[in-house]
Structure 1
Amino acid sequence: MDEAAAWRQAAAHLTHRLLGELSHEGLFEPEPAGEDHWRLPLGEAVYEFRARRGAFGSFVIALGSATRAAEGGKPAPVEDPRALLVDARTALGLYGSRLAEVLTELTATIADESSRLRSAPTAEKLSTMDYNLAEGHLAGHPPLVFDAGRAGFSAEDRARYAPESGEDIQLRWFAVRRDHARFDAIDDLGENLLQLEELDAEQRAEFTETVGELADYVLLPLHPWQADEIVGVRYAGELASGVLVDLGPGYDHYRPHQTVWTLANVGRPTRRDVTVLPAPGAPVVTGGLKRINAEAGLGLELLGGVAGVTVRHPLFGELPDTAIGALWSEPVLSRVAEGEQALSFAALPYRDLDGHAVLTELIRRSGLGAEQWCAEVLDLLLRPLLGWLCQYGVGLGAYAPNLVLIVSPDGRPLRVAIKDLARGVELLDEELDCHRLLGDAPRRPANVLARSLSDAVFAGQLRYWAEILLDDLDLPRTRFWDLVRETVTRYRADNPACAERFDAYGLLAPEVERVTPNREHLAGEAWAGRVPNPLHGPAADGAW
């Protein structure tokens, strides 16, 4: 696919996604215009599209069906999501510099998607690809249309550092005077051991030659973009005074994950992933979760941050976004046996250029049938997450990019892992003994903590599965949501001691709050209104 064709396809696809997600979130209010036909006036234009309604009030728009008609003009196929945003600027409350900022971000998103499409593998190939390389072909968390994670990247930066570029990255190392840095680690991992495991002897010798005595410093790897844009500017005085010493690029080569700031060591995959952001206290949370899991055996593989460095600016330390740091985490491939395959949950709804989905490919390859395959995955995923919620009052950040499905060579589900643990952990606002192990993780009331499952998994992932399974394998959506509901209610029946806490979470309530990540990005509102809950019971119209 040439560059022009890829841009057109990316722009059209994002326009349909934007129409669907903003309609789902209540920012757009389409009007019925016939069976599965909708009309949406925006400013001086009218959009029309075909869509069926899905779970959680979603709009499942038929790709290629959307048209736009200017006032008095004829409908034409939609080609550019930026035109949609300009038409919708009043409805969205976007004006002046904020409108320009969002349009710039959306343009960058089209460029990233266009780059991804030009090298898009088939669903079959992606389903067997190395986990870290596959990250470069994914589109991130399904509900979020805007690419908010790469703010500040230039076109050259995107070509060099975005996961879809397929380029390796060498981290830049710095030595930080010990009185300006904080090092944390789990109990059995000290600073010296971390250096021995993450750095070659020759590289440590080079660092020692530069600074004289490593014991006086804490070593910190950073993304080369951060080294130039953050350290080179905000820490220029500290570089001049020797508080920070630039040690140059490391030997190892890394590939960025979809989160951009988390990178996997592709040359030495047994070495840890590095997240080049400060996460003070993360190893404490990881260690606590592992201690609980060792006793409880909840069945979820935990991949957390095991060591971290945080540097606070001597003058700007209390201001936002001035700290720098890094977190070393257990790599996904450390939990994958020979012959097994690890796939991000963000890969499961991936469709290739011929329309084939990874989810469908795995089911067909397994020979299990859609119902049995889904039942097995739901059991591997939901029962442990329910156990953490109901037995320990712990919500894990189970968003698609953080979840990993491990399958056999024939696509049969084996295990589920969760990574980037510490950043998503929240605790029930009750005094539970196990919470003493989890540091300063935020406390939430039951209805808010339930969102770690209802928003991240049910609305954020499974609603997309339901539509793929209907379109590709003729699995009725009512049957799919029956399987989800059966897994959740079976957990309650099997764990009567947790029934009261389970009920407090309201997972089976008739309605739930509608999660709105794009509304949050545009207007700062993470939730808006309530929508019917497919876990409560089947919909009369068969949508769930």
Structure 2
Amino acid sequence: MVPNLTVCAYSPGTVDDAAAHTETHLAAHAPHLRAPFRDALPQAAAAVGRRLLGALWREDIADTRIRYEGTGDRHAYDRVEFGAVPAADPVALLPPSIVDGPGWVLAAELANAVANLAVAYARRDATPAPPFGGPDAAAVTLERLAVDGHNLHPCGRTRIGWDVDDVLAHDLEAGTTSVGFVAVRRDAHIGDDLGPLVGGPAAPPGYVVQPVHAWQRDAVLARRYPDLLRDGTLRLLDGAVPAVPTAALRTLLLPGGRYLKLSLDIQVTSSRRSISVAATRNGPALSALLARLLAGEDRVVLLAETAGAALDGSRDASAIVRDGLTGRLAPGERVVPGGALPIVAGELLDEYGAGPLAFLTDYARLVLPPLLRLATRHGIALEAHLQNCLPTFTAGHPHRLVLRDLAGMRLHRPRLAAAGTDLALWPGSVIATDDLYTMRAKLGYTAFQAHLGELVIALARHGLDETAAWRAVRAVVDETYEPLRADPATASAAAADHAAFTAPTVPHKALVRMRLTGGGDVYIPVRNPLHAP
């Protein structure tokens, strides 16, 4: 039994409030969804509540561990999965002292997440297929299986900044959205000329055409920049190009198999999804560097960021062009977006045929060695969580690892310099650090906890022993570092990295504490299943 939890008398931004608001809008814009939405609300609230309760436990917020001792299923990295939650409204899981203080923002986000997840549940079976084919369209179709969004964050379906009609028009289940365009005066434009690359209209004399999300053009740029519109620095252009929203929302799949990552000033999980000027300029340079450094990794495919541009001094009109998978897969090679991997793990196991422990070992040998080698040799920690990885399979066997989205990576400047790597980043780029802890925390949390940790739990539902699973992962870590430790050029860094990733405790990204503090990344120590005394 789950013990009772004191519920505050009034929670700002309750699920009831959010549900009533959503249903009113559905009555006007999509009346056929009202009944399915109401039916889906309990399931959505329970999904958000389970993730919130798991985060409160893991981060030990407000004596949650004391109240819930002995309940839930324990997993690696101090993770506990609760099968049930003691409140219909997840906001009620937050103690009053938190909701009445810094947690009122989180409470509103949780309510928003529940309402949007219920809308997604209500229309997931009617999501239109992509209007064009190819391996990227197939990947997007699989991504849609992960309806709950982020595999750990309780606010995986927050859409703060969108109202219900915007969700209906542009969210993943809409099936399609559109790319709009603005004209930016040349002296206010930074970067590449993207308009011709994505089918934009001809630029007026003295201007560059910049692609923007259609919602961003109409709801943000048209309202936030009256001075730039008045003096002609910025012009809103008619017309749009159809595109398919991916799970990242701000990243759209274009006809022909190329991606366009666009600023989208809404909050999803913990962040507003605009794009810095630095990211638009660093992406092509980082892609060129990684292509060179990964040239010897024949099982890695990089979806390069080939061009980017922004409005000078603003995050609101930024765009990055990214390569797709067209022409890069062999016959019989199937791509599975990481977000869908836990969902289709049983199907892959059936094709693989050799049992879950062997499958996990093969998969770890695909994912970990290139990531660990890149960090040790060059100080580059890729953000290798499920959403940024697209593993491929042949007959169920892990075959290649496709990597995408470079914005969250961390570069350790001293190691880059020691490796003789000369990389000029845009001034003020947050991806550069002199702190090894920061670099290792980025890689360790995303690759081991948010990626392999999720797969281990999924495979446990198919008979995998979790203790044996982490012993197998540890063996892959050891065998990866063995040649690095034997090489005088990398011996010291390899020994230090190996010790950090197999230490008794490792950093875990504290998703709820981050929302309560309102700051950047916050890490807490959790027990490490890779530690072998």
Give the TM-score normalised by the residue count of structure 2. 0.80
Deviations 1:438-461 (A, max 9, x none): 635402322221112211121223
For residues 355-366 of structure 1, the aligned pairs below 5 Å read 357-366=343-352
For residues 436-515 of structure 1, the aligned pairs below 5 Å read 436-437=422-423, 439-440=425-426, 441-470=431-460, 472-495=461-484, 496-497=486-487, 498-505=490-497, 506-515=500-509
How many Å separate the matches in 2 of 1:31 and 1:425?
A: 32
- Displacement, 1:362? 1.4
Match of 1:327 among 320, 323, 328: 320
Is 1:347 the counterpart of 2:335? The answer is: no
Q: Tell me what 2:267 maps to.
A: none
How many Å separate the matches in 2 of 1:525 and 1:274?
A: 22
- 1:397 maps to a residue whose letter is E
- Quick check: 2:382–2:409 contact (8 Å CA) kept in 1? yes
SS in 1 for 2:294: helix
Is 1:94 the counterpart of 2:99? The answer is: yes
- Displacement, 1:308? 0.7
How many Å separate the matches in 2 of 1:49 and 1:109?
A: 28
How many Å separate the matches in 2 of 1:223 and 1:128?
A: 19
Q: Tell me what 2:259 maps to.
A: 272
How many Å separate the matches in 1 of 2:221 and 2:303?
A: 29
Moved more, 415-424 or 273-282: 273-282
Distance 1:438 1:398, change over 3 A: farther
Is 1:84 the counterpart of 2:93? The answer is: yes
Is 1:17 the counterpart of 2:51? The answer is: yes
How many Å separate the matches in 2 of 1:120 and 1:241?
A: 44
How many Å separate the matches in 2 of 1:438 and 1:532?
A: 37
Give the TM-score normalised by the residue count of structure 1. 0.79
Is 1:150 the counterpart of 2:159? The answer is: yes
Distance 1:334 1:24, change over 3 A: farther
Distance 1:307 1:423, change over 3 A: farther
- Displacement, 1:144? 1.4
Is 1:522 the counterpart of 2:516? The answer is: yes
How many Å separate the matches in 1 of 2:298 and 2:375?
A: 11
How many Å separate the matches in 1 of 2:137 and 2:40?
A: 22
- Quick check: 2:258–2:322 contact (8 Å CA) kept in 1? no
- 1:101 maps to a residue whose letter is V
Q: Tell me what 1:311 maps to.
A: 311
- Displacement, 1:28? 4.5
Is 1:182 the counterpart of 2:226? The answer is: no
- 2:471 maps to a residue whose letter is D
Match of 1:435 among 399, 417, 421: 421
Is 1:536 the counterpart of 2:531? The answer is: yes
Moved more, 127-136 or 373-382: 127-136
- Displacement, 1:422? 4.1
How many Å separate the matches in 2 of 1:169 and 1:346?
A: 21
Deviations 1:237-274 (A, max 9, x none): 22233222222232x32122222211111xx1333333
How many Å separate the matches in 2 of 1:532 and 1:416?
A: 28
Deviations 1:413-441 (A, max 9, x none): 21111101244242253323453136354
- Displacement, 1:307? 0.5
Q: Tell me what 2:174 maps to.
A: 166
Moved more, 421-430 or 282-291: 421-430
Is 1:7 the counterpart of 2:1? The answer is: no
Deviations 1:82-129 (A, max 9, x none): 2223xx131xx3326x544323221221122223323557xxx9x998
Moved over 4 A (4+): 194-197
- Quick check: 2:352–2:397 contact (8 Å CA) kept in 1? yes
How many residues are paired up? 466
How many Å separate the matches in 1 of 2:306 and 2:418?
A: 24
Distance 1:434 1:170, change over 3 A: farther
- Quick check: 1:183–1:310 contact (8 Å CA) kept in 2? yes
SS in 1 for 2:318: strand
Runs (5+) with no aligned partner, structure 1 = 33-38, 41-47, 68-77, 185-190, 350-356, 539-544
- Quick check: 2:337–2:389 contact (8 Å CA) kept in 1? yes
- 1:95 maps to a residue whose letter is D
- Quick check: 2:59–2:513 contact (8 Å CA) kept in 1? yes
For residues 358-437 of structure 1, the aligned pairs below 5 Å read 358-408=344-394, 410-430=395-415, 431-437=417-423
- 1:342 maps to a residue whose letter is V
Distance 1:5 1:306, change over 3 A: same
- 1:309 maps to a residue whose letter is A
Moved more, 413-422 or 423-432: 423-432
For residues 7-46 of structure 1, the aligned pairs below 5 Å read 7-30=41-64, 39-40=67-68
How many Å separate the matches in 2 of 1:28 and 1:467?
A: 27
- Displacement, 1:195? 5.0
SS in 2 for 1:324: coil
How many Å separate the matches in 2 of 1:132 and 1:384?
A: 25
Q: Tell me what 1:103 maps to.
A: 107
How many Å separate the matches in 1 of 2:356 and 2:326?
A: 27
How many Å separate the matches in 1 of 2:507 and 2:529?
A: 12
- Quick check: 1:378–1:487 contact (8 Å CA) kept in 2? yes
- Displacement, 1:281? 2.5
Runs (5+) with no aligned partner, structure 2 = 1-34, 130-134, 264-274
Deviations 1:459-498 (A, max 9, x none): 223223222222x222111110011101100011132223
Distance 1:24 1:298, change over 3 A: farther
- 2:59 maps to a residue whose letter is E
- Displacement, 1:153? 0.9
Counting aligned pairs with the same residue, the percent is 25
SS in 2 for 1:8: helix
How many Å separate the matches in 2 of 1:149 and 1:298?
A: 38
How many Å separate the matches in 1 of 2:350 and 2:233?
A: 58
SS in 1 for 2:458: helix
- Quick check: 1:273–1:331 contact (8 Å CA) kept in 2? no
- Quick check: 2:229–2:235 contact (8 Å CA) kept in 1? yes
Deviations 1:159-188 (A, max 9, x none): 11111x23311111111111001114xxxx
- Displacement, 1:31? 5.0
